[in-house]
Amino acid sequence: MISVPELVTSSLQARLLSEDPIRFIYVLKETILQNGNSYIIQSIGNFGWIDTPLSWAAVIGILFFIAAVVWKAGTKGKTHASVFTMLMCIVLPIVSALYIFYFFYTVGTPVGASTITSVQGRYFFPLLLFFIYGVYLLLIRLGKWKAKIVCGIGAFFIMTSCLLTLYNRYYNYSKVFAEPDVLIKLIEENTIDVKESPYIEVRKTISIPLPSKTGYKLAGFQLVVHDRGEEIAMSVPYGFILKDETGNIMMQGFLDLMDIQYPGVRTKTFQPIRITSTKVILDLMPLVESPNNRYLELVREADLPRIHPLYLSQ
C-alpha cells in the first residue's frame, strides 16, 4: 500500500502555489470551513472530559466572556501604546496564522490536496493573546465611535450571511448538474466493472475529448478509476487543462487527492465556464515522475478513458 508521506513534496507544492497563488485562498477557505470548529475549541481549551468534548453552548459562552472582558477593558483607562504597536499586535498574528497554514500545506499536506492537514488550534493560542491586546488598544482609540463601528460590523456580517443564504437557496445553480449520476448508475448496474475492466495507466500527458454542449456551462468532470480494493486510488499528483478546438485554455487546475465521490468515480468540480466551442479537450498530466508511487489508472472504453462532463442544468 502507498503511504501518505510519499505524497508530500514541499518543493512541488510550493511551485504549484507560485504558479497559481489564488489556489491557496481556495485551500484556506476549504480548510477553515471544514476544521474551523475544531480550531476554536482547541484554541480556547477543551474543558470537558477526555472522551466527551466541550458543549458548543459553553464554547460560545467563553467567547462572549472574552469579548465582554476586552470591551469593558477598552472603556476604562488610557494607554500610551503607539499606533504602530496596536497595528503590530493585530496584523502580525494574522500574518503568522497565514504562515502556519502555508507551512503545513507545503511540508505536511499531500500535493494538490484541497485542505491543509496537521494544523491544530493550539498553534494559534499565543497569537490570540497578542490579537486580543491589539483589539483592546484599538477599542480605546475608537472612543465614542466604538459602539457604532462594532454594531456596523455586526450588522454587515448578519446581512451578508442572510444574502448568501438566500442566494445559495434560490439562485445558486453552480452544482446542479444535468446528469450527475451517469457513471455511478453504470457501475451499480455492473455495466462498468471497476475491478476487471481494462484501464489506462496515465504516466504521461493524455488528451481526452469531451462531448461538447455549446451554450451550456461546464462545471466539472468525472473519471472512472480502476479499483484496487483498499489501496489509495491516486498518489502521483495530477494537473488538468481544458482547451477549445483552437488550443485556447479555458480552465486549468489540479486533481485533489480526495476527489473520490463514489467508489471508482473521481469527481472534479470548478467554477462554471460557458462552452462556446464545438470541441473541448481535457489534458491530464502527472506533475512528477515517481516510479515508487502509483499512477492514476483510468478505466477505458475503446482506447480512451471513460469520462463524463458535468454540465449545469439549463
6-51, pLDDT tens digit by residue? Answer: 467 777 788 878 878 888 888 898 888 888 878 877 777 665 555 5
- Burial annotation 303-314 (CB, 10 A radius, 16+ → b, else e): eebbbbbbbbee
Which sequence spans correspond to the domains of the chain? 4-170, 182-311
Highest mean pLDDT among 22-26, 57-61, 80-84, 263-267: 22-26
60-74, 202-216, 292-306: range with lowest mean pLDDT:
60-74
Q: What is the pLDDT of residue 233?
A: 46
Sequence-distant (6+) residues with CB within 8 A of 122 are: 42, 43
pLDDT at 9: 72
SS3 of 5, please? helix
Task: Tell how far CA 73 is from the center of its chain.
Answer: 38
- 92-145 residue pLDDT tens: 999 999 999 999 998 888 777 778 888 888 888 888 888 888 887 887 777 777
- Give the pLDDT confidence score for residue 235 in this predicted structure: 67
Q: What is the CATH class of 182-311?
A: mainly beta
Q: What is the pLDDT of residue 46?
A: 64
Task: Give the residue-averaged pLDDT of 192-213.
Answer: 85
289 burial (CB, 10 Å; 0-12 / 13-18 / 19+) is: exposed
pTM given for the model: 0.61
Contact 210, 280 (CB under 8 A): yes
Q: Does the structure show a pLDDT above 50 at 4? A: no
